[in-house]
Structure 1
């Protein structure tokens, strides 16, 4: 397995929308070396992120306001988006100013979308602080909020100017959240990186976390460069998400629902029915058990199916799903939406 340390840099090659992805421990405290902070900066974070991280960024800026939203998926909504935009406007932000996200995927999606729509688009920097956001959502330019229980249905493609991955921030992450994010790395291994998948089978995820993040970002970078706006190869990244989003709508931790499953746990469950090889499905379940991810969960399958019908990929009574016939390969199947019932184990 190739070496990768947290002094690495990847470049997302998207022509005029290209940007650097810096992987360096301690980078958050030195953001000024990587980006222009000599302007008004809105630092968006949430109440679950240690305040010191947002303050580290704000202290490097000429003028900064810290906008803190409530922790959890419930903040990815139009009401919270409006609050963020109102605070940006009150701060006097203009077209030359900047939004910096400091937090997990919810913060990145929300702050990125706010940057995309404020004055028809201003600069955005993503500083992920969770395994889930470092491995997956911090790059690629997808920004969105939810509409009710339907995830990411209001959004825009808006690429960041810089992404800064400082793995030192993981030291304050609760263990379940840490493991939750690794589901997206398992996804990358199943789709295209057998060595990464085998690392989960035999390696030490804590000792190898730098390598896991680096390889996961390499995989996603290649996919996004080939298909920035999801018209072809980028559909692979939806592996596990069609069923996973349905499970999350019914069983996810959101708003007043304090008990349930996190996003990565739902995606992990959503991947299993899409793995066609019985032996690979057994190996994947073994990895889940090794990490502490769920291999099954009790939920109302009819309700999950109903939520899946809201998937934005469903059109004209058909939906495209990603299946994995074997380790390191995938294909996109367009099927009638009714076929989702059998994938869920429902009759008829």
Structure 2
């Protein structure tokens, strides 16, 4: 059940631990803390479930906590300021380590706070949702949202370690687990056709929560992301492929209000829209589109954009996407299951046809 991966980024390299019962190892966390002060950042849902185990592993450290409300809407500049104010008011220095205990929202905002506080302090990712375990905790993307765009204010800043205890998935609501599966399926579509086949073959075990299968699945996703990030840390090229479905998905989240559609739900719909665009361009076989839709549907993910969103609502947000260059839209398009491309030849007329 134990897996230890390594993300190779030179002096910024770090391990990714994946294990059932990882929180029971009191020595693991302290290996990656260099000072004597630790601040745990969590939310009101996760903190009561796991904070005591984490604090037991931190006996002997000077410890305090910041507990934020739950939800995507809380990944805000207001809560970023709350973290900064707490660290300053409590005299934290550059030898403090932040612990991000929670899902993607907590990981992103804690990482951004670590990047900014006194120009950079250490932080450790302890992701407790499937989506954060397979995606957002690995790779050093940190950010907060703005009403005009998701993740528009942030930094590339790597953690010292990622600790994934798959036992946390047992407390995850079904909808949150399904949302995480969108990011899992994404890896198969964008660059690992064999993994996509494996997911099709193991749907029942995944839905049933088979720990061995979940551990294998999470390890495969983390390895895929680690390989891509190691070759392109700051998204100058191939790392942009990890945004498959995200240009459409971020538009849905921004338009519908952060948290009304979960990130994974929006990404699932975004991947279907990207695949439909690819079919319309004769770049993707219709049979591959049907397989993509079938696998996403097997994990109870939405395939259709919100009825209230048409072309004008989508394009307003998509024009602000971070991948755009020189005023051109850049989208990730699947050309077959297991291969995707970055395209900058997508016109608004082409988008209007599918939206």
Label 1:221 to 1:178 Cα distance change in 2 as closer, same or farther (>3 A): same
Counterpart in the other structure of 2:36 = 39
Which residue is 2:280 aligned to? Answer: none
CA contact 1:75–1:106 (8 Å) conserved in 2:
yes
Query: Match of 1:164, SS?
Result: strand
- SS of the equivalent of 1:230 reads coil
* Residue number in structure 2 paired with 1:29: 24
- Cα distance, 1:149 vs. partner? 4.1
State the TM-score, normalizing by the size of structure 1.
0.92
Question: In the alignment, which residue of structure 2 is the partner of 1:291?
Answer: 299
Q: Whole-Å Cα distance in 1 between the matches of residues 144 and 162 of structure 2?
A: 20
The secondary structure found in structure 2 opposite 1:299 is coil
Matches of 2:298 and 2:337, distance apart in 1: 19
Distance 1:31 1:149, change over 3 A: farther
User: d(CA) in 2 for partners of 1:309 and 1:31?
Assistant: 47
Q: State the match for 1:273 in structure 2.
A: 273
CA distance in 2, matches of 1:290, 1:52: 29
- In 2: Cα distance, 1:81 partner to 1:235 partner: 26
Question: What CA distance in whole angstroms lies between the structure 2 residues aligned with 1:334 and 1:131?
Answer: 31
Q: Could you list the per-position Cα deviations for residues 76-105 of structure 1 after superposition, in whole angstroms to 9, with x for gaps in the alignment?
A: 111110001111122221111100100000
Residues 336 and 186 from structure 1, CA distance in 2 versus in 1: closer, same or farther, beyond 3 angstroms? closer
Residue 332 (structure 1) aligned with residue 342 (structure 2): yes
CA contact (8 A) 1:54 1:66 kept: no
Residue 227 of structure 1 corresponds to which residue in structure 2?
232
**Are the counterparts in 2 of residues 113 and 156 from structure 1 also a CA contact under 8 Å?**
yes
Q: Determine if the alignment matches structure 1 residue 55 to structure 2 residue 52.
A: yes
Deviation at 1:210, TM superposition (A): 1.2
**Range that drifts further, 211-220 or 271-280:** 271-280
Q: Could you say which residue in structure 1 is the equivalent of 2:83?
A: 84
Q: Is the 8 A contact 1:28 1:127 kept in 2?
A: no
Give yes or no for the alignment of 1:19 onto 2:14: yes
| Deviation for aligned residue 1:342 | 2.9
Residue 322 (structure 1) aligned with residue 299 (structure 2): no
Conserved 8 A contact 1:143-1:158: yes
The whole-number CA distance in structure 2 between the counterparts of 1:266 and 1:73 is 13
* Deviation of the 1:202 alpha carbon: 2.5
Matched with 2:279 is: none
Distance 1:223 1:100, change over 3 A: same
The Cα RMSD (Å) is 1.6
Partner residue in 2 for 1:303 = 313
Deviation of 1:72 after TM superposition, in Å, equals 0.6
CA shift, 1:147, in A, is: 1.4
Partner of 1:242: 247
CA contact (8 A) 1:58 1:66 kept: no
Q: Identify the match of residue 210 of structure 1 among 197, 208, 215.
A: 215
Counterpart pick for 2:4 among 3, 9, 19 = 9
3-state DSSP of counterpart to 1:335:
coil
Q: Is the 8 A contact 1:317 1:336 kept in 2?
A: no
Q: Which has the larger displacement, 227-236 or 306-315?
A: 306-315
Gaps of 5+ in 2: 276-283
Unmatched segments (≥5 aa) in structure 1: 255-259
CA distance in 2 between counterparts of 1:277 and 1:77 reads 40
Equivalence map 1:161-176=2 (5 Å): 161-176=160-175
Per-residue deviation, residues 86-133 of structure 1 (Å, max 9, x unmatched):
111222211111001000000000000000000000001000000000
Structure 1 distance, partners of 2:26, 2:288, is: 42
